C-alpha cells in the first residue's frame, strides 16, 4: 500500500515553502515523484502496489498514468463512486476527521470529473449502498477475475 499523499506531505515540509497552493497535486514535482516512488517501491518489493488517491484533474491523471506505463507498470484504475448526497452525508458525518471544508470543496469538481472524463477512464464501483468491506471485496473479486 502506497499513499501518494505522503509525497505531497513531503513537499509541504520543504523549507522555505513551495509556492502557495490549495492542493499539493498542483505542484509540478508531485506527479513525477508519485510515479518514481511507485516504480522504486515495485522494483524493490515486487508484487502488486495499491495506491489509493483521488486525482480530479485530467492532465494530472494523464501524467501519472503515462509515467506508470512508461515503466511498464500495469494499472487497474478503480473509482469509488457515491452520489452527491451520500458523499455530503459521509463528509459531514465523519466521526474520525470531522466535517472537512477541504473535502466539501471537492464535491463539485468530483461531479464534473465524473461527468467529463474520470468514469470513462476507470472501473467505477458505486459505493452508495455498500460498506467499506463490501467495496474491498468487490474490488478484490474484480482483480481476481
Domain boundaries, the chain: 1-75, 76-145
**According to the model, what pLDDT value does residue 107 have?**
96
Going from the first residue of the chain to its last (145 residues), give the mean pLDDT of each consecutive group of 10, the final group possibly shorter.
96 96 97 98 94 96 98 96 96 92 95 98 97 96 91
28 grid coordinates: 509540478
**According to the model, what pLDDT value does residue 145 have?**
85
Q: What is the pTM of this model?
A: 0.91
Phi, then psi, of 132 in degrees rounded to 5: -55, -40
Amino acid at each position: 500500500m502506497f499513499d501518494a499523499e505522503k509525497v505531497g506531505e513531503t513537499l509541504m515540509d520543504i523549507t522555505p515553502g513551495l509556492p502557495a497552493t490549495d492542493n499539493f497535486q498542483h505542484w509540478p514535482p508531485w506527479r513525477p515523484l508519485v510515479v518514481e516512488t511507485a516504480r522504486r517501491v515495485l522494483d524493490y518489493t515486487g508484487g502488486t502496489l495499491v495506491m489509493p488517491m483521488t486525482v480530479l484533474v485530467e492532465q494530472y491523471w494523464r501524467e501519472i498514468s503515462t509515467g506508470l506505463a512508461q515503466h511498464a507498470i500495469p494499472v487497474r484504475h478503480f473509482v469509488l463512486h457515491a452520489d452527491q448526497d451520500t458523499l455530503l452525508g459521509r463528509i459531514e458525518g465523519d466521526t474520525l476527521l470531522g466535517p472537512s471544508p477541504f473535502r466539501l470543496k471537492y464535491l463539485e469538481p468530483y461531479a464534473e470529473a465524473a461527468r467529463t472524463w474520470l468514469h470513462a477512464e476507470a472501473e467505477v464501483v458505486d459505493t452508495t449502498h455498500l460498506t467499506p468491506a463490501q467495496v474491498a471485496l468487490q474490488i478484490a473479486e474484480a482483480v481476481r477475475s
